[in-house]
Amino acid sequence: MNGRRRIVLPTRAAIAVLAGLGLAAALVLSLGAPLAVVAPVGVGLLLALIAFAAFDLWRSLRLWTRGGLRVERRLPAAFAIGARTELKLALVNPGALAWRLQVFDELDPLFDFEGLPRQLTVSAQSRSHLSFHATARQRGMAALGVTQLLWRSRAGCFEIRERLGEPQRLRVYPNFAALARYAWLSGDRRLAQMGIKNFVQRGQGTDFRQLAEYKRGDPLRHLDAKASLRHRRPVVREYQDERDQCVMFLLDCGRRMRADEQSVGSGENSHFDDALDALMLLAYVALTEGDEVGAMTFGCEEGARCDCAPRKGMGTLNVLMNKMHDLQPGGHHSDYLDAAETLTRRLRRRSLVIILTNFRDEDSPELQPALRLLRRRHLVLLASLRETALGRIAGQAIDDPEDAVAVASAHLMSQARHDAFARVVDHDKLSIDVEPRALAATLVNRYHQVKRAGLL
């Protein structure tokens, strides 16, 4: 037997038989039976039971090996954090005997799962299918171990734990649900369900789109005289938002982004996960608008930095996903000025630079010079994630004096943060300080405002 792949344990029935034999011997001795008679009988019965159990184990292992039961696992290409995913197993029994089993699939501890362990009977010369659901709670690389089978020997003396298959590793990406929902809603004109405003594009921007018949409300300055004379009716030029622009993300991976309010029930994701989800959603929106998108991280360890040069096309989204899916905030201090200097050297073209961070008042001495440096060439949007706990405390009911103190303190802290943020961004109306769940929709709205106003 291979101890690494197989573990043999006695069943409860076998232990009960041995215990019963011992109790029977003790009872007979207590009734006055001579030891010289009880001992040989007891030893003989014990040896017979051991021999029977050994034969049962040998025969069962021989039959199991000859049967050649195997496991086939069907996994998705990747997981998405927070997405309930179905995994399938197929148990193939080419042998002539049926087996009753317990099945358990070894999953990464960062997964929640439903439907395991599972009991089933695999009939002779058949294939049995079972499925269960797993939900990833953290991005990165997930380890899936082998499949464990717990089967009983033919006479029921032993339970054998068998480990079949090979370990596998799969990637856990940010949740694609927001991207898919945006794509569906944008085509169906129901973006308000996500909190995203649907701006009317006709007549906006400076890039020529097409000629169209004049309608009431169209700007007279867009009338095309030659086309109107040729068609003998008023014709206007339609414009669209400027394309071929650049959106660059600066993602803070320092200790500020380690804030996580999951323990107090504020949501399923950490602050960093919400920031990464918002980044991916806005990247998708900008790429569909024909813009270039890039990203750079700061505040992380030297070897863990991620730098994606701005590119066009939906393939850029896959690049961002593959490079950033396993990012996690560390314990380092985020050097805003160093990140700004690095980006200024690498990105010469005027761009919309979006800084995703968790602002604190003590960051002002470093953050203000970084913003001034970036604003010399770029349009800068500072997006800060505000803890939801403050808003929850400030909005709670006041039932006693202690509640009044807590609510007043929360309002005071919120106002102090608001004033500090306004100072550090120099009262810039483009920058935002919002709770994590509102970040994605607010960023997309700001991007649309920038495009509509032609700020780039």
Read off the pLDDT of residues 270-311 as tens digits, 9 standing for 90 and up: 788 889 888 988 998 899 888 999 999 998 877 678 889 999
What's the CA gap between 391 and 76, in Å, rounded? 39
pLDDT value at residue 190: 47
Question: Crossing angle of helices 401-424/364-375, nearest 10°?
Answer: 40
H/E/C letters for each residue in the chain?
CCCCCEEEEECHHHHHHHHHHHHHHHHHHHCCCCHHHHHHHHHHHHHHHHHHHHHHHHHHHHHHHHHCCEEEEECCCCEECCCEEEEEEEEEECCCCCEEEEEEECCCCCEEEECCCEEEEECCCEEEEEEEEEEECCCEEEEECCEEEEEECCCCCEEEEEEECCCEEEEEECCCHHHHHHHHHHHHCCHHHHCCCCCCCCCCCCEEEEEEECCCCCCHHHECHHHHHHHCCCEEEEEECCCCCEEEEEEECCHHHHCCCHHHCCCCCCHHHHHHHHHHHHHHHHHHCCCEEEEEEECCCHHHCCEEEEECCCHHHHHHHHHHCCCCCCCCCCCHHHHHHHHHHHCCCCCEEEEEECCCHHHHHHHHHHHHHHHCCCEEEEEEECCHHHHHHHCCCCCCHHHHHHHHHHHHHHHHHHHHHHHHCCCCCCCEEECHHHHHHHHHHHHHHHHHHCCC
CATH topology of domain 177-199+242-453: Rossmann fold (3.40.50)
Cβ pair 350, 373 in contact under 8 A: no
Report the DSSP beta bridge partners of residue 105. 147
Percentage of the chain beyond pLDDT 70 is 88
Strands 379-385 and 352-357 turn out to be: parallel
pLDDT value at residue 55: 93
| Identity of the residue numbered 267 | G
Check: pTM over 0.75? Answer yes or no.
no
Neighbours of 275 (CB within 10 A): 27
Prior bond of 369 cis (ω within 30°): no
Classify residue 205 as left (phi > 0), alpha (psi -120 to 50) or beta.
left
pLDDT value at residue 250: 95
To the nearest 10°, the Cα dihedral for 262, 266, 267, 272?
-60
Cβ pair 214, 240 in contact under 8 A: no
Tens place of pLDDT for every residue, the chain, 456 residues? 343 578 898 998 889 988 888 898 888 888 888 888 788 888 888 899 999 999 999 998 998 888 778 888 888 877 887 788 888 888 898 888 888 889 988 888 888 888 888 888 888 888 988 888 988 888 888 888 888 899 988 888 999 998 888 888 888 887 766 555 555 445 444 455 555 555 544 445 555 566 777 777 777 777 778 878 888 888 887 665 556 789 999 999 988 888 776 544 444 567 888 898 889 889 988 998 889 999 999 988 776 788 899 999 989 988 998 888 888 888 888 899 999 999 999 999 999 999 999 988 788 888 999 999 999 999 999 999 988 877 777 777 887 878 787 888 878 888 888 888 888 888 888 999 998 888 888 898 899 888 888 887
Q: Using only C-alpha atoms, what is the Rg of the chain?
A: 33
What's the CA gap between 309 and 294, in Å, rounded? 5
What's the CA gap between 228 and 71, in Å, rounded? 73
279 Cβ partners below 8 Å, 6+ apart?
249, 251, 295, 320, 324, 356
- Going by CATH, does the domain composed of 70-173 fall within 2.60.40.10? yes
pLDDT value at residue 370: 94
What's the CA gap between 371 and 363, in Å, rounded? 12
